[in-house]
Structure 1
Amino acid sequence: MAVVEEKKSNSSKKVSDSKKTVKKVVVQNTENSDIAYRALVEPWITEKSHALIAQNKYTFRVTSDTTKAEVKKAIEGFYAVSVEKISIMNFVPKKRAYGRFEGTKTAIRKAIVTLKKGDKGDLTELSVDKNMYQIPPRLPFLKG
């Protein structure tokens, strides 16, 4: 019996040696992701916002009651970058009419976040694909 137990223990040591290579897992702080979920609505992707990326400024649409401090906490916690400055702009709701029915276009609040010089994070993934602005190929059934 002792011989069988020794063989089992040797095989378990080999398995434990191979498991020592552990991949680094990034775990985000749940508090920071909760703040980001409440404060940030979506990245604001326009031609102007892409021009601002060259100046290390990123644009986000935020909720109507979000403050600069909350935006700073959300960006720093969620993207792991350091924020230098935040500018917030409010777009007033515009009146729209459809026949005799009147309504308003929703009000929008956006934040332009300036990162510290030399600091770039996962925010660069928000940039639009360069092929987006190319002319699509002609369909085969359209001739001319």
Structure 2
Amino acid sequence: MNQERVFKVLLGPHMTEKAAMAAENNQYVFKVARDATKPEIKKAVEALFDKKVEQVQVLNMKGKTKRSVRGEGLRSGYRKAYVTLAPGETLEDFTGTE
């Protein structure tokens, strides 16, 4: 996988309280591209962070429906991936200790 595709697959970290709790169990959450597959996400994380990935779970988040004066609208949805690293591996950027 070339370096350009790595940055197109992984759009950024998804930091929420739930993601912080998952990080304690060696699971990290990323926003990913709509067309990204599990093997692509695995290769991208391994190439970018030099860590061994054990498992990838992907889910699609639907956009919320919002109402305004002009009627109803729909926010755009996104896709996120829960990446489980091998035992003993951690990502220091996600620990939350500053």
TM-score w.r.t. the length of structure 1 is 0.62
Q: What is the identity, as a one-letter code, of the residue corresponding to 1:94?
A: K
| Candidates 39, 44, 51, aligned match of 2:21 | 51
User: Whose Rg is larger?
Assistant: 1
Aligned residues: 98
Distance in 2 (CA, whole Å) between partners of 1:126 and 1:118 is: 15
Q: Compare relative contact order (CA 8 Å, sep 6+) and give the higher one, 1 or 2.
A: 2
Query: What's the CA shift string for 1:8-50, capped at 9, x where partnerless?
Result: xxxxxxxxxxxxxxxxxxxxxx92x322211011101011111
| Candidates 75, 94, 97, aligned match of 1:126 | 94
Distance in 2 (CA, whole Å) between partners of 1:54 and 1:93 is: 28
Distance in 1 (CA, whole Å) between partners of 2:70 and 2:24 is: 46
Higher helix share: 1
- Partner of 1:78: helix, strand, or coil? helix
Distance in 1 (CA, whole Å) between partners of 2:66 and 2:36 is: 26
More displaced 10-residue stretch of structure 1: 101-110 or 52-61: 101-110
Name stretches of at least 5 consecutive residues in structure 2 with no aligned partner: none
Distance in 1 (CA, whole Å) between partners of 2:94 and 2:85 is: 15
| Candidates 25, 42, 65, aligned match of 1:95 | 65
Name stretches of at least 5 consecutive residues in structure 1 with no aligned partner: 1-29, 131-144
State the Cα RMSD in Å. 1.7
Q: Residue 60 in 1 paired to residue 60 in 2?
A: no
Identity of aligned residues (%): 33
Higher strand share: 2
Distance in 2 (CA, whole Å) between partners of 1:83 and 1:126 is: 15
Query: What's the CA shift string for 1:64-88, capped at 9, x where partnerless?
Result: 1111111001000010001000000
